[in-house]
Amino acid sequence: MTPGALLLLAAGALMAGIVSGPWFARSWLTFTLAGAIAGLAAALSVLFGAADWEWWSAFSLGGELVHLRLDGVSALFLALLCVVGGAGAVYAREYWSEETYPASAPRGHLWWSGLVLSMGLVLVSSNGLHFLIGWELFTVCAYFLITLDRQRREVRAAGWLYLVASHTGTVFLFAFFSTLAARTGSWDLHPMQDQAALTPLFWLALAGFGVKAGVFPLHVWLPSAHANAPSHVSAILSGVAIKMGIYGIVRFSGWLPVPAEAGGVVIGIGATSALLGIAFAFAQNDLKRLLAYCSVENIGVILIGVGGALLAVTNGDAPWGRLALAGALLHVWNHGAFKALLFFGAGSVLHATGTREMSKLGGLWRTMPWTTGLFLLGSVAVSSLPPLNGFVSEWLVYLGLFDAATSKGTAAWAAMPAAIMLAMAGAIAMASFAKAGAMIFLGSPRTRAAEQAHECGNFMRAPMLALAGVCVVIGLAPILIWPLVTRAVGSWRAVEIAPEVPAPLITLGLVHVALTILVATAAAWLWRKAHATDLRRSPTWDCGYAMPAVRMQYTSASFAGIVSGWFRWVLQPERKLRRPHGNFPAEAIRLERVPETVLERIIGPVSVAIMRGSTSVRRLQHGRLQFYILYLVVGLIGLGVLVMLGGAQ
């Protein structure tokens, strides 16, 4: 079947899912999965085929003819959308089932199918107007998914914040698309690098898509929305929805002429997002907030790659740009897979214990072995450790940056600091996930809820296993997906790049396989040793405490203490400290909270000031007719004076 027929099938199945969702949960799951599989097949057939799929229809929507296009770039994102969309639907079947949530689960089905469909529309539409329609639909569907559990106050607040931030971004996109349409005379989107007048539009696109992607100062909506949404929604938000921002930046930096400074700016934004995002992640106590801030970091990594590619464009199309872009696009995929896996794991923990706070968890590895194993696999991947997929993509970005740094030219000055900041972010990312894993799964249970945790069922485990499989396959055999990535990179600016696999990638794959075998052998040997019969078991040394209690364990804040100290200038933690005094201290307190610094310290006060200003203007409207007439007279006299002065000139 052609991609067009497959896409039609996918759209039909998803629409059937929307219609059947509120009433028939089982047929909804079937339809949504069928839609996801059909969409994935369409994307793969474009990625493995040579030609893009393009369709001009005679049908017009909003006065514009429908023009659809699926090329390498959009197919790569579409494939990710279908994988995460399908996996999330299966996961929701148990995680957000009708039995537990009789009111919101049917609604959730409808919006889920709607979200997948509208994001697909954004990816395939090749007309500015339809792109905006799809974008708006996708924003609204995501809003209703975030606020599924709308009885809770913080969920409603998070939903509002998301909606407001998204629409702020959409304002930029409206400006972008309408200016584009005004300057080119048509809403149709296609490569137009030769029109130099369009260059400044890149900044509008960067701002608009940057809000959705959650780059550092614009990420304010992201942590609360990801933390308060149901976990399968957090997974698709973090795995796919914020990638739509990346898609926009990649798409329009490829189709439009870019300013000379774009590369440096995007690399700078990426490096800042990576480092500060992960610094915030490390300081969090809420598991899902940690994952959300980690998404900011990964968006930063992706943008570093994109920025490298843009830098190469202004440096005479240097080959290292393609390498960096390949890394970025692969990281889009990888982050989608492992972050969805981690959010599913977090959902499993939340499902079992009812809390997201790491200081109330602990010791879950005994009761939840599957979740523990899969979460740890995701942690290894997100920390970019070999032999999993995170390493492959970050390594490609590094290769691009190193080549740029050794090239003679200005590019080195942007690439070198970015590589250093990327390395720092990677180190802190590893520490963050060491902390999360240790707090949640190791040690002793800190609360009763953690003690009574239970393993998740098959519907939740299967999607986690599938995503873990994606992580492992990309990690061990990067050569398998290299053709897909080169196809996407090739259609970015319509340049041919060598389809053969670069030598380092083959070596990397082999090293990963060898490493896996080595680790597996060592693990098997340790396992046998640990289960030997003649082993003597006793408690570990307890530092001389007579009665060790669970509260003596490391807390997440104490684990993160030193590193949070380095970043105190941006984290701005609020602390309350009362030291113990005397030989028999009565009470001592140490509380520390890391606020949403950008939101609470910058955007909050600014909005309060704007509100105050607007409220004071409202005082002019008091209902006294006499004063209204006075305003009129003053206005008239003012206009008269203006006319007299203007006439005098």
Residues that bind other proteins (CB under 8 A): 621-627, 629-630, 633
Nearer to other proteins, 519 or 630 (CB): 630
CA neighbor of 82 nearest in space, from 32, 140, 8, 29: 32
> Please, what is the minimum distance in Å from the beta carbon of residue 610 to other proteins?
21
Nearer to other proteins, 566 or 627 (CB): 627
Integer Cα distance of 97 and 104 in angstroms: 9
Q: What token pair was written down for 587? A: 């009470």
> Please, what is the minimum distance in Å from the beta carbon of residue 640 to other proteins?
9
With a CB cutoff of 8 Å and minimum separation 6, the contacts of 445 are 361, 362, 363, 364, 451, 453, 550
> Please, what is the minimum distance in Å from the beta carbon of residue 635 to other proteins?
12
Nearer to other proteins, 23 or 628 (CB): 628
Q: Given 3-state DSSP classes, what are the helix, strand and coil percentages for the chain, each rounded to the nearest 5? A: 70, 5, 25
Q: What token pair was written down for 379? A: 């942690």
Please count the other Cβ atoms lying within 10 Å of the Cβ belonging to residue 640. 10
Question: Any idea which residue has 């039995």 for tokens?
Answer: 99
Integer Cα distance of 93 and 462 in angstroms: 11
Tell me which amino acid residue 439 is: M
Strands (E), 506-622: 574-578, 589-593
Instruction: Output b/e per residue, 531-552; b: 16+ Cβ within 10 A.
Output: eeeeeeeeeeeeeeeeeeeeee
> Please, what is the minimum distance in Å from the beta carbon of residue 626 to other proteins?
5
> Please, what is the minimum distance in Å from the beta carbon of residue 609 to other proteins?
24
> Please, what is the minimum distance in Å from the beta carbon of residue 615 to other proteins?
14
> Please, what is the minimum distance in Å from the beta carbon of residue 631 to other proteins?
10
> Please, what is the minimum distance in Å from the beta carbon of residue 617 to other proteins?
14
Nearer to other proteins, 529 or 624 (CB): 624
Nearer to other proteins, 562 or 625 (CB): 625
Q: What is the 3-state secondary structure (H, E, C) of 196-244?
A: HHHCCHHHHHHHHHHHHHCCHHHCCHHHHHHHHCCHHHHHHHHHHHHHH
> Please, what is the minimum distance in Å from the beta carbon of residue 66 to other proteins?
44
Which runs of consecutive H residues, i.e. helices, occur in 442-457?
448-451
> Please, what is the minimum distance in Å from the beta carbon of residue 381 to other proteins?
56
3-state secondary structure at position 501: coil
Burial of 453 (0-12, 13-18, 19+ CB in 10 A): buried
Q: What is the 3-state secondary structure (H, E, C) of 358-417?
A: HHHCCCCCCCCHHHHHHHHHHHHHHCCCCCCHHHHHHHHHHHHHHHHHHCCCCHHHHHHH
Nearer to other proteins, 503 or 625 (CB): 625
Which runs of consecutive H residues, i.e. helices, occur in 96-194?
104-124, 128-146, 153-184
Strand 574-578 and strand 589-593: the pairing is antiparallel
Nearer to other proteins, 408 or 624 (CB): 624
Nearer to other proteins, 540 or 626 (CB): 626
Nearer to other proteins, 543 or 625 (CB): 625
Nearer to other proteins, 586 or 617 (CB): 617
Q: What token pair was written down for 62? A: 């909003």
Are 290 and 281 in contact by the 8 Å Cβ rule? The answer is yes
> Please, what is the minimum distance in Å from the beta carbon of residue 54 to other proteins?
53
> Please, what is the minimum distance in Å from the beta carbon of residue 622 to other proteins?
6
Nearer to other proteins, 56 or 627 (CB): 627
Integer Cα distance of 32 and 125 in angstroms: 21
Strand 64-70 and strand 574-578: the pairing is unpaired
Instruction: Output b/e per residue, 393-432; b: 16+ Cβ within 10 A.
Output: bbbbbbbbbebbbebeeebbebbeebbebbebbbebbbbb
Question: Any idea which residue has 């984290």 for tokens?
Answer: 571
Nearer to other proteins, 503 or 633 (CB): 633
Are 131 and 204 in contact by the 8 Å Cβ rule? The answer is no
> Please, what is the minimum distance in Å from the beta carbon of residue 607 to other proteins?
23
With a CB cutoff of 8 Å and minimum separation 6, the contacts of 103 are none
Nearer to other proteins, 413 or 631 (CB): 631
> Please, what is the minimum distance in Å from the beta carbon of residue 634 to other proteins?
10
The phi and psi torsions of 70 (rounded to 5 degrees) equal -130, 105
Nearer to other proteins, 423 or 629 (CB): 629
